[in-house]
Amino acid sequence: MLKDITLGQYYPVKSVIHRIDPRVKILLLIIYLVTIFMADNFISLGFIMLTILFTVFLSKVPFKVILKSIKAIIFIVIFTSLINIFFNSSGNVLIEFGIIKITDSGIATAIFVAIRVFMFVVISSLLTYTTTPTNLTDAIEKLLSPLKVIRVDVHSVAMMMTIALRFIPTLIEEVDKITNAQKARGADMESGGIGKRIKSVIPILIPLFISSFRSASDLAFAMECRCYTGGHGRTRMRQLRMTRTDIYAAIFMFVVIACMIVLNHFASFAKI
Amino acid sequence: MENIIEFNNVSCSYEDVDGNKTPAVQGIDLRIKKGDYIAVLGHNGSGKSTFAKLCNAILLPDENMGTVIVNGINTVNDEQIFEIRQNVGMVFQNPDNQIVATIVEDDVAFGPENIGIEPSEIRRRVDDALTKVGMYEYRMSEPHKLSGGQKQRVAIAGIIAMQPNCIIFDESTSMLDPKGRQEVLSTIDYLNQELGITVVLITHYMDEAVRAKEIVVMNNGEVILKGTPREIFSNVEKLKLIGLDVPQVTEIAFELNKHGFNFSEGILTIDDFIREFKI
């Protein structure tokens, strides 16, 4: 069950999107997210949805895989939509019972926000689907490097991220092992109410904490033995290089933003 | 031949919170030559791991209690500590806790990156190291998808990429299944025989120790026996006294000798046994 967590699962195919320099990709993602926010009417939103579908198509990541990441947030989306429907009281009232009024603009906002959130998730997950964790942390280290001026240890932050990503599967395995060990000793994890079930997690958490500390100490030893001294004087095997693909990606982004502005201006009749 | 590691009457002790000192190793006097293959035997708490940690300056000898010299450098020498660690690599027990990166080849590159080597040279060393341990085709895999033996070979590649003269294996096979153990052991043999890397194999498996050219037996922090496998395993009674086993064949020969057979002392392999049995 725990193994289904698709936290930034890299999807290994060769595509234009995979080839974009990770630094550029992160920057473009941020711009993309802002652009999605800029859309203030259904036509702009529809347009940006098309561009996102196009990007997904270019990335060669199957829609089935993308849908998985949407599934994970579906409840949050439904919940926010419902809140929007029930508590937005502007526009024409369609149904009314008691204090709750359902209006046409409420429903429109709900749909609009839902689509927006879905697009957020799709485009963000596309970053992790098309970039290896190593490239991602390398890029973050590079992008954050201006922070060195204000004495932020950027290298350590990136190193911690790498190690965290590296240890997720190891910790999941450990949880499995401990759960089985506790079950073998008669621990009951499946029955009882919520309170009882939460309590039954404690005998898993405590051994997990202890073994993580031990792993951390072992890893620190191993890293010291391999001459690790932090970021100072360290070279990297992988060098990030910008290519023509990055320029194309930037141009694409620019065109999308330009179209957005124009559409926002002319399609104000469809405004939410 | 040149000594790569020199222990001159070394003692080392652990201090607990109250300041009480518990000696871990005492009066160790040992020389390891370049190209040697040495096994260190002893049961839990005999000081084996402390011995290993003394070799690459993770631990230092107690003050005025001997010196450890690695490749001519005293381990107390703080500035040259990374030269020492680059020279004497160490592979630990748990393969999971020594792999740093999320992709095999990045992990192998970790050591060379730390000592500031040129990117193109790191690339070459990584490919070379992975080929030597037979893990080249797994270079883009994620470590958690590999078997224990494969992970341990990746860890070894990570050490080889730093081009050390000596590698210490601190019970590196104890968490592996028989197949993984075999893989790692034959990699170790290859490193020693083909690449001339000095190997210090810390273990409590007798059949692993037999592979070494020389065995050092430790008990309660002291070296009690030293010699070739044949010499060591001639002392069946002494080994049993400190709670160590001898290889099964050796023991059978020893017991048979009590009943009037005439096997030579310290038989190590089944082949030896059969040869003498026929005569």
pLDDT of residue A57: 93
Q: Is the pLDDT of residue A272 over 70?
A: no
The whole-number average pLDDT for the span A193-220 is: 90
The whole-number average pLDDT for the span B138-144 is: 88
Q: Compute the distance between CA of residue A206 and CA of residue B185 in angstroms, rounded to an integer.
A: 36
pLDDT of residue A162: 87
Query: Chain A contacts of B98, Cβ < 8 Å?
Result: 218-219, 222
pLDDT of residue B147: 92
> Cβ separation of B58 and A224 shorter than 8 Å?
yes
pLDDT of residue B238: 84
Neighbours of A35 (CB within 10 A): 21
Query: Which has the closest alpha carbon to B158: A240, A138, A168, A228?
Result: A228
Query: Chain B contacts of A233, Cβ < 8 Å?
Result: 116
Q: Is the pLDDT of residue B158 over 90?
A: yes
Instruction: Compare CB distances from B109 to A214, A224, A237 and report the shortest one's residue.
Output: A237
Percent of chain A residues topping a pLDDT of 90: 35
Task: State whether residue A226 sits within 8 Å of chain B by CB.
Answer: yes
Tokens linked to B152: 């341990």
Query: Chain A contacts of B58, Cβ < 8 Å?
Result: 221, 224-225
Q: Is the pLDDT of residue A232 over 60?
A: yes
> Cβ separation of B114 and A228 shorter than 8 Å?
yes
pLDDT band at B127 (very low <50, low <70, confident <90, very high): very high
Q: Is the pLDDT of residue B74 over 70?
A: yes
Q: Compute the distance between CA of residue A167 and CA of residue A165 in angstroms, rounded to an integer.
A: 6
Query: Chain B contacts of A228, Cβ < 8 Å?
Result: 110, 114
Measure in Å the smallest separation between the Cα of B204 and chain A Cα atoms: 20
- Give the long-range contacts of residues A74-79, CB within 8 A, separation 24 or more: A76/A117, A77/A114, A77/A117, A77/A118
Q: Is the pLDDT of residue A2 over 80?
A: no
pLDDT of residue A66: 86
Task: State whether residue A245 sits within 8 Å of chain B by CB.
Answer: no
SS (H, E, C) B195-242: HCCEEEEEECCHHHHCCCCEEEEEECCEEEEEECHHHHCCCHHHHHHC
Task: State whether residue A169 sits within 8 Å of chain B by CB.
Answer: yes
Task: State whether residue B110 sits within 8 Å of chain A by CB.
Answer: yes
The whole-number average pLDDT for the span B159-181 is: 92
Q: Compute the distance between CA of residue A52 and CA of residue A208 in angstroms, rounded to an integer.
A: 41
Of the listed ranges A21-25, B15-19, B32-36, B122-126, the one predicted with least confidence: B15-19
pLDDT of residue B210: 86
Instruction: Compare CB distances from B101 to A166, A221, A239 and report the shortest one's residue.
Output: A166
The whole-number average pLDDT for the span A57-66 is: 89
Query: Domain limits of chain A?
Result: 1-131+242-272, 151-238
Best A128, A211, A227, A228 member to test B by mutation, with max B CBs in 10 Å, is A227
- In B, minimum Cα distance to A226 occurs at B111
Measure in Å the smallest separation between the Cα of A64 and chain B Cα atoms: 23
| A152 CA to centre of own chain | 24
> Cβ separation of A227 and B96 shorter than 8 Å?
no
pLDDT of residue B279: 60
> What single letter denotes the amino acid at residue B57?
A
The whole-number average pLDDT for the span A77-99 is: 81
Instruction: Compare CB distances from A225 to B90, B126, B144 and report the shortest one's residue.
Output: B90
The whole-number average pLDDT for the span A186-195 is: 80
Q: Is the pLDDT of residue A39 over 70?
A: yes
Range 90-109 of B in CB contact (< 8 A) with A:
90, 92, 94, 96-103, 105-106, 109
> Cβ separation of A224 and B106 shorter than 8 Å?
no
**Full set of structural domains in chain B with CATH:** 3-246 (3.40.50.300)
Q: Is the pLDDT of residue B89 over 70?
A: yes
The whole-number average pLDDT for the span B58-85 is: 88
Q: Compute the distance between CA of residue B28 and CA of residue B14 in angstroms, rounded to an integer.
A: 16
pLDDT of residue A1: 41
- In A, minimum Cα distance to B82 occurs at A227
State the number of CA atoms in the 13 A half-sphere of A12 facing the CB. 6
Query: Which has the closest alpha carbon to A272: A123, A32, A106, A154?
Result: A106
Please tell me what DSSP assigns to residue B193.
H
Q: What is the pLDDT of residues B34-69, one digit of tens each?
A: 999 999 988 888 888 899 989 988 888 988 888 999
- In A, minimum Cα distance to B118 occurs at A235
Q: Is the pLDDT of residue A157 over 50?
A: yes
pLDDT of residue B251: 83
Cα dihedral sign for A245, A8, A71, A40?
Answer: negative
Give strand ranges (E) for B48-136. Answer: 67-70, 73-74, 88-91
Q: Is the pLDDT of residue A8 over 60?
A: no
Name the most confidently modeled range: A13-27, A102-116, B224-238, B259-273. Answer: A13-27
pLDDT of residue B134: 92
The whole-number average pLDDT for the span A113-139 is: 89
Crossing angle for the helix pair B119-132 and B148-160, to the nearest 10 degrees: 140
pLDDT band at A165 (very low <50, low <70, confident <90, very high): confident
The whole-number average pLDDT for the span B89-100 is: 92
Neighbours of A214 (CB within 10 A): 12
> Cβ separation of B100 and A225 shorter than 8 Å?
no
> Cβ separation of B100 and A163 shorter than 8 Å?
yes
The whole-number average pLDDT for the span B184-213 is: 90
8 Å CB contact between B278 and B270:
no
Task: State whether residue A128 sits within 8 Å of chain B by CB.
Answer: no
Tokens linked to B114: 């730390």
Name the most confidently modeled range: A94-108, B6-20, B152-166. Answer: B152-166
Query: Chain B contacts of A211, Cβ < 8 Å?
Result: none
Q: Is A60 exposed, middle or buried (0-12, 13-18, 19+ CB in 10 A)?
A: middle
Kindly provide the ipTM of the predicted complex, given to two decimals: 0.85
Those residues whose C-beta lies under 8 Å from the C-beta of residue B138, and which sit 6 or more positions away, are B104, B130, B146, B150, B154
